[in-house]
Structure 1
Amino acid sequence: MSLSAFAALLERLVFTPGRNAKLALLRQWFAEQPDPERGIGLAALTEELRLSAARPAMIRELVMTCTDPELWRLSYDYVGDMAETVALIWQPRAGVNAPPPALSDVVAALEAAPKAEIPALIAGWLDTLDAGGRLALIKLVTGGLRVGVSARLARVALAEWSGRPVEEIEEVWHGVSLPYAPLFRWLDGTGPRPDPREAPVFRPLMLAHPLEAADLAALRAEEWRAEWKWDGIRVQLVAGPGGRRLFSRGGEDISAAFPEILAAMDFHAVLDGELLVIRDGEVAPFADLQQRLNRKTVTAKMQRDHPAAVRLYDLLFDAEEDLRPLPFDARRARLESWHARAAPARMDLSALVPFDSLDALARLREGARAAAIEGLMLKRADAPYVSGRVKGLWWKWKREPLTVDAVLMYAQRGHGRRSSFYSDYTFGVWREDGELVPIGKAYSGYTDEELAWLDRWIRNNTVNRFGPVREVERGLVLEVAFDAVQRSSRHKSGVALRFPRIARIRRDKPAEEADRLATVEAMIASALAEGERPG
C-alpha cells in the first residue's frame, strides 16, 4: 500500500468532524489495508510512532534550498502550518516518475538511514507525491497528525471492526509493539490472544463524569464516598516480576522522568493514584510538577527541589489477583491493608472525606479553593473499577471557576481543522504603571461563530508579526475562566492561570477597563487566607 492511501485517510479524517463517521473510516482502514501498513498507520494516528530522525528544522532547511526565502515567509504566514506550507510550495523535479513509497518503506528507511542521508530521502519522496501525499509525509516524519483520533477512539474502532469487546483490546494494547501484528492476527481470527504475561502493561483507567445540578439532585448521600480531587496528574503504577513502569492516564510511559517513584515500587501490584510534588507533607502548586514533566532524564537537584510523590486512590491488582470487579468499599479496604503492609516510600493514601449529607459536602467543596485541590470526587460505594467513562459510577465535582477580564495581546494559528484560523490567544492584564503583561494562553471555550469573529478581528487589527504569531491592537477584552492562579517566574506578570479558557468576548468593555494585575494577585492571597487545605 502506498503512502497515498494513508494520505487519503488523513484528509478524510480531518474533514470528518463526527465521531461515528471517524469510526467508520477507521473500521474501513483496518479491514482493507494489509499488514504491516495498517499497524503503522494505527501507530501514527495514536502518536505511538515516533520518528526522531527528521526534525521540523531539517524540513525547513530542505525546502529553503529550492525556494525563495521571502516566498517561504509569506506562504508560511498565510497558511500557518509548516507541513501544509511545504506540501503546497514544493516543486517536484522534472522527469521524476517513480511510484510513491509504501508507508512501511518510509518508516524502515528513516530508521535505518544515517542522519546525513535523510534530507535526500525525504526530497526524493516529496518528488513522487502529490500535495496530499506530501502533507501526510511531513506530518508522519515530524509527528503530530492532529486529525482528531485518540488512542481510545482507535481502540473502539478496532472493537467495532473485530467484534471483540473494547475492554479486552485495552487489556492487551500495551503488551504488543508496533506494527501490532499479533494484535491484528487475534482480532481477525487468525491468531491467539496476545498474552503480556508478567510484563508491566498499562490497564485502562476508570474516569469520571462532571457532576451537574440534575445529577446531584438524584444522589443519596449514603451510597457515595468522597475524596479530594488533587491537582496533579493521574498515574498508574505497575510493578512485579516483569518490571516496573509508571504510566500517565493515557498510557504513556513516564518512568524516566520520575526515577525516585520507580525506585520506591518494590512490590507486586497495580495502583491508581495522583502524581504530585509534595514538600513537608504539603502539596505544591501544579507549576512545580510541570518542572518535572516531559523530561527524559532528571538531575539530582531537580529531584531534590521538586520531590515527587503519589497519592493513592485505588488498588487494581494485588499480586496476580484482579480486584477490579470488587465494589469500591472492598477495594478501598484492600488498599488500606496493602498500604499498611507494603509501606511504600513516597506514597500515601488519598483520604476519604467524611460527610453526612450532600449539603454538608457542598459546603466542604466551597472551601476547596486551595492551590492544590480542584474539588471533590464522588464514587459509588458499590461500583466496580471499569475502564473508560461510565456515567453514574464516578463523578468529579470541581469548584466553580474564577474569571478575569483580560486584554488580547497575541494570536497564533491552530492546528488541523483550525490551521486557517487564529485560534490560540495570549492575553494579559494591566500593571499599575500602565503596562499590559501576559498571564496566560487559551485555545478553547469559544463557539465556531466566535472563532470566526475573533479570526476576522485579529486579521483586521494586527500591528506586528513574529513568524506565525500576530501582535494585535490592545482593544479587545476577553472574559477568561480558569481553575486557579499561582505564582510563576516564567511569566513577566509573575502569575499564571491554571486551565484557562475563553468564557465570552467582552465587545462591550473598553480595554482600559480590563482587570489589573493586583486583582489577580489578590486571588492568590485570598486562597491562602482561606487556608491551604479545606475542611
Structure 2
Amino acid sequence: MKQFAELIRTIDGTNKTNLKVAALAEYFKSANDEDKLWTIALLSHRRPKRPVNTTLMREWATQISGVPMWLFEESYHIVGDLAETIALILPTANESSDKSLSQIIQEMIALRSKGDLDKKEYLQKNWLQLNYYERFVFNKILTGGFRIGVSQKLMTRALASATGINKDVLAHKLMGSWTGENTSFQELVYEDNEVARRGKPYPFYLAYAVEGEVIDLNDVHQWSAEHKWDGIRSQTIIRSNEIFVWSRGEELVTDKYPEFQKFLDVIPNGTVIDGEILPFKDGEIMNFNDLQTRIGRKTVGKKLLEDVPVVIVAYDLLEWQGKDLREQPFEKRRALLDQLVLNLHKKEEALPQKEKTPLLLSETMTFNSWEEMAAERNLARKKRSEGLMIKRKNSPYLVGRKKGDWWKWKTDPFSVDAVLTYAMRGHGRRANLFTDYTFGLWQNGELVTFAKAYSGLTDAEFRKIDAWIKKNTLERFGPVRSVRPHHVFEIAFEGIAPSKRHKSGVATRFPRIVRWRTDKPIEEANTLDDLKALIP
C-alpha cells in the first residue's frame, strides 16, 4: 500500500506526461504481480464494489476525529472530495501498516458480507495505521476513481515500457469485462485466453474536432464523409454463435438491447461491427432523450421495447470471417460492410419492418468541393445528426484518439442568453470558488431554470463572479446558494428536446458557458419560448 500510495502521490504531483509514464513504468517493474493487476484495474475504473456506504464513512470518521457532523459537511464542501476530507480530519496515526495494495483490496472485498460493526472496526483501525496520503488512497479505493490525470492510454504506454509488449496489443488485452477478481496479471498481460478473447472488443478509434478551416485538409477527393449520429458508440461482436455488444465506455450492454439477438441468425461468426446505437421508429431516428429512457434500466420491458426500438447504424467493419481488418484501408473495410448489410436487406426486403434485423448503414458520401460538403453539414440537424465525420479513404482503424485521418466536423451549437440564478462550489482546484452555475430564462415575468454549466470562463472571471456571489446571496440550501438576478451569460448546447423531467419542459445536451454578457441587462435575456422554438 505504501508503494501504491507513493505512486499516486508522484503522478498527482506533476502535469508532465513523461514523468507520469516513467513513474508508472518503474512501479510496474518493481511491484508484485497482484499489486500490478489491481493498479491496472483501479486506473481503468474497475474498482471493486463498494463495501461501505459513504454516509457510514462520514459518521465513523467524525466519531474518531471528534469533529461534529456540521463542521465535517462544511469542510467537505470546501475540500470538494470525500476521501480527502476524511483523510484530513482524522488524528495523526501512531502506528504503521505494511499491508500490500492487493491485501487491502482483498480485505475490502471480504468486508462486503460483514455487519456494520465489523466494517466500522476495520475502517477505524486502518485509518489509524495509515499516514495522510495512504488514508487518502485507501478512501479513494472505497469511494471512487482516481482523477489524477492518468488516462488508460497513458497507463498502457507505461505498461508497454515495463513489459516490452506493443502498446496497441496491450490496449486490446486491457479491453473487455475482466476485473481484478476474475483474472491474474499473468493471464491479463502475457497469456492469450481464448475464452476471454471470444467476447473482447477492439480499442475504439476516436476522431479529433476539425481545427481551423476544413479546406486545410487539402484535396476533398481523398476524404469520405458520413453523418455523426447522436447515439451510443458501440461494437457488436459475433463469435462462436454468441453476440456481445460493447459501449465505448467498455460496458457490456448486450442484455440492454435484446433486439440485437436477431444478428445471430443472419451475421456469420467472426464479425465485429463498429457503429452507433440509435432509437429508431417508423423509419425515423428519434431523440437521444428517448434512448436515455433505456440507458441504465436493469430490465427492458415489452412496452419500452415497443416505444423506443433501437437499431445499430454501422460505420465500419473491424473483423470479417475471423480476420482482423483494422490495417486495411477504410474504403476496403467499408466495401465489405456495405456488401454485408445490403445482402441482408435484400433477403429481408419482403418482411414487415418489425421483423427485419435492426442493422442499418451509415451512408458514406464523397464531394467535389468542400463547399458541397459544408452544404451537407448544414442539413445535419434536419437529419438528427451532430454534423459530419470526415475519414481519409485509405486510413487504417487505429487505437484511441489520433490526429490526421479521422475528423469530426460538428454543427454550430445552439445558444441562448440566460440569467444566473443559483451557484454551487466547484471541485478540485476550484473547491473554494462558486463555479457550478444554474441558469434561468424568462416566462411570464419569472425566471425558470433550464440548465447547469460549470465551464467556459477564465479563472479570473470565475474569481470575479465568486466574489459577487458571496455578496449577493439570497438564500442557502446546503451547498447551493440562490443569488440576486443580475448577470447574463451566453449558454451553448449541442442538442435540445422536450422533457417531462425538467421544470422548463426542455432538456439540453452538453450545456456550457460561451461568454459573460456584461453588455446585456437581465431584461434582455431570452425567454423559455425562445428556447422551445429551437426544438427541431
Amino acid at match of 1:359: E
TM-score of the superposed pair, with normalisation by structure 2: 0.88
The answer on 1:271 being equivalent to 2:283 is no
User: Secondary structure of 1:152's match?
Assistant: helix
8 Å CA contact retained: 1:410, 1:427: yes
- Give yes or no for contact 1:100–1:125 (8 Å, CA) kept in 2: no
Residue aligned with 1:316, SS: strand
Distance in 1 (alpha carbons) for counterparts of 2:429 and 2:145: 13
What letter is aligned with 2:492? Answer: A
CA distance in structure 2 between the partners assigned to 1:362 and 1:309 by the alignment = 27
CA shift, 1:184, in A, is 5.7
Q: Distance in 2 between matches of 1:418 and 1:261?
A: 44
Distance 1:262 1:125 in 2: 48
Residues 380-420 of structure 1: CA distance to partner in whole angstroms, max 9, x if unpaired?
Answer: 11112222223221111111122211122223334444444
CA distance in 1, matches of 2:344, 2:337: 10
Deviation, structure 1 residue 360: 1.1
On the 8 A contact 1:375/1:397 being kept in 2, the answer is: yes
Specify the alignment match of 2:130 in structure 1. 129
| CA deviation map 1:170-223 (0-9, x unaligned) | 122136642797656886xxx556666752102011221212344423422222
| Matches of 2:461 and 2:242, distance apart in 1 | 50
Question: 2-side partners of 1:166 and 1:491: how far apart?
Answer: 45
Cα deviations by residue, 1:248-274 (Å, 9 ceiling, x for unpaired):
113222233333335645542111001
CA distance in 1, matches of 2:156, 2:404: 23
Q: Distance in 2 between matches of 1:352 and 1:100?
A: 59
Deviates more, 1:136-145 or 1:113-122: 113-122
Which amino acid counterpart does residue 487 of structure 1 have in structure 2? Answer: P
Q: Following TM superposition, by how much is the alpha carbon of 1:333 offset from its aligned partner in structure 2, in angstroms?
A: 1.2
Return closer, same or farther for 1:103/1:227 CA change in 2, 3 Å cut-off: same
| Alignment gaps of 5+ in structure 2 | 346-355
Q: Give the 3-state SS of the residue equivalent to 2:382 in structure 1.
A: coil
Q: Give the aligned partner of residue 150 of structure 2.
A: 149
Aligned pair in 2 of structure 1 residues 101, 253: CA closer, same or farther (>3 Å)? same
Partner of 2:310: 308
User: Is 2:480 the counterpart of 1:479?
Assistant: no
Query: How much does 1:100 deviate?
Result: 5.6
Deviations 1:433-470 (A, max 9, x none): 22211221223233333333344333343333333333
Q: In percent, how many aligned pairs have the same letter?
A: 38
Q: What aligned pairs does 1:235-274 form with structure 2 within 5 A after superposition?
A: 235-241=234-240, 243-262=242-261, 264-266=263-265, 267=267, 268=269, 269-274=271-276
Distance 1:270 1:238 in 2: 4
CA contact (8 A) 2:47 2:145 kept: no
User: Counterparts of 2:34 and 2:196 in 1: how far apart (Å)?
Assistant: 24
**Contact conserved, 2:221 with 2:366, CA < 8 A, in 1?**
no
Unaligned runs of 5+ in 1: 529-535
Change beyond 3 A, Cα 1:25–1:297: farther
- Partner residue of 1:531? none
Distance 2:383 2:5 in 1: 45
Judged with a 3 Å threshold, the aligned counterparts in structure 2 of structure 1 residues 420 and 242 are, in CA distance, closer, same or farther, namely: farther
Distance 1:381 1:348 in 2: 21
Aligned twin of 1:434: 445
**Partner SS state of residue 415, structure 2:** strand
Specify which of 405, 423, 434 is matched with residue 435 of structure 2.
423
| Cα distance between partner residues in 1 of 2:501 and 2:433 | 27
8 Å contact from structure 1 (residues 476, 511) kept in 2: yes
Please show how residues 334-413 of structure 1 align to structure 2 within 5 Å: 334-342=336-344, 345-370=357-382, 372-413=384-425
Change (3 A) 1:311 1:31: same
Moved more, 419-428 or 143-152: 419-428
Please give the alpha-carbon distance, in whole angstroms, between the structure 2 residues aligned to 1:483 and 1:44.
Answer: 32
- 1:342 CA displacement: 4.9
Question: Which secondary structure state, in structure 1, belongs to the residue aligned with residue 206 of structure 2?
Answer: coil
Aligned residues: 517
- Report the CA distance shift for 1:134/1:256 in structure 2 as closer, same or farther (over 3 A): farther
Q: Is residue 482–residue 497 contact of structure 1 (8 Å, CA) maintained in 2? A: yes
Moved more, 279-288 or 28-37: 28-37
Quick one: which of 24, 35, 38 aligns to 2:36? 38
The two structures, once aligned, show a CA RMSD in angstroms of 2.7
Shift of 1:299: 2.9
